[in-house]
Amino acid sequence: MSITVGDVLESEKKSRGLRPVTSGRMDALSDEQCMIRLDGPEVEAAIAQLYDRYGRTVFGVGLKILGDHSLAEELIQEVFLKVWRSSSTFDPSLGSFSTWLFRVTRSVALDLYRKRARRVHPIPEGDSHIATMRDRSAGPQEIVDESWLSWRVSRALETLDAPHREVIELAYFGGLSQREISQRTGVPLGTVKTRTAKAFRSLREELSLGDAWQVATR
């Protein structure tokens, strides 16, 4: 069965609606508080919360680095198991949890890339949206190094609320014009334009806070 970008976005919309809600008590926890709880009785709730918060970014960046669904699935499992096993090595005074998690993801991705290098196979037809995003001329280290920008952009997109994220995703991953977004979503064209402009400004502010800006603009 062939999977189109539209299908991906449609399933994405559905899955957001079904995204599990964690308990109220755990909802209030910061990333750092979750990390502390990885060494206690609330370990599963804490790792589940970190997964809900970062799973999409880890998986998306994994797909981009590895270009393969099965490997990205292996990556996300290994990353969160490593987060649990290595929680004591996380020092919030040295940087944010997001940055630390990116390093873990990068390290696991590089290991997987090298380990499976001989088993690389053609990307199935249905995964053409992934194939187009993978620069096959780049080496593993180069791909992994560039993933910091992907990580930051993914995190920045997560900060947008659903209507603003939707217009950006439909434009960049669905390849739709603003008029087509309006027709697809039933939202007036003027509103689509306003949301796009606002989303762009929010992303600019979010990305300007970190290293991604320098990487993006070099």
Partner 1 sequence: MKYPESHPDLAAFVLGGLEAEEARRHLASCSRCRDELEGLEKVNRALEAAPPPVDPPAYLKDEILSRMRVEKRSRSNYVDSKKPSKTHRSYRSKYLGVVLPSVAAAAMVAIVALGIFFGLAREQAPVATIRLIPTPEEAAGLDGYWGVAKIRPQASDNQQVELRLNNFDEPEPDSYYELWFVSGDRRISAGSFTSVGKGETRVWLNAPPEVRSFDTLLITEEQLDSATASGTAVALEGEMPGR
Interaction mask 156-195, partner 1, x per CB under 8 A: xx----------xx-xxx---xxx-------------x--
Token pair belonging to 124: 């199935």
Interaction mask 74-113, partner 1, x per CB under 8 A: x-xx--xx--xx----------------------------
Binding residues with partner 1: total (CB under 8 A)? 73
Residues 15-54, interacting with partner 1 (CB under 8 A): 15-16, 18, 43-44, 47-48, 51-52
Q: Contact with partner 1 (CB under 8 A): which of 33, 98, 145, 146?
A: 146
Does the protein bind partner 1 through residue 140 (CB under 8 A)? Answer: no
Does the protein bind partner 1 through residue 213 (CB under 8 A)? Answer: yes
Of 4-12, 28-36, 87-95, 100-108, the window that binds partner 1 (rule: CB under 8 A) is 4-12
Q: How far is residue 11's CA from residue 55's CA, in Å, rounded to a whole number? A: 16
Q: Contact with partner 1 (CB under 8 A): which of 6, 53, 73, 191?
A: 73
Instruction: Report whether 178 contacts 192 (CB < 8 A).
Output: yes
Token pair belonging to 14: 């559905």
Residues 116-135, interacting with partner 1 (CB under 8 A): 119, 121, 124, 126, 129-130, 133
Locate all alpha helices (DSSP H) within 67-188, ordered by sequence.
69-85, 97-115, 128-131, 140-159, 162-172, 178-185
Backbone angles phi, psi at 19, to 5 degrees: -55, 130
Backbone angles phi, psi at 86, to 5 degrees: -105, 20
Question: How far is residue 76 from each of residues 185, 193, 201, measured CA to CA in Å?
Answer: 31, 35, 31
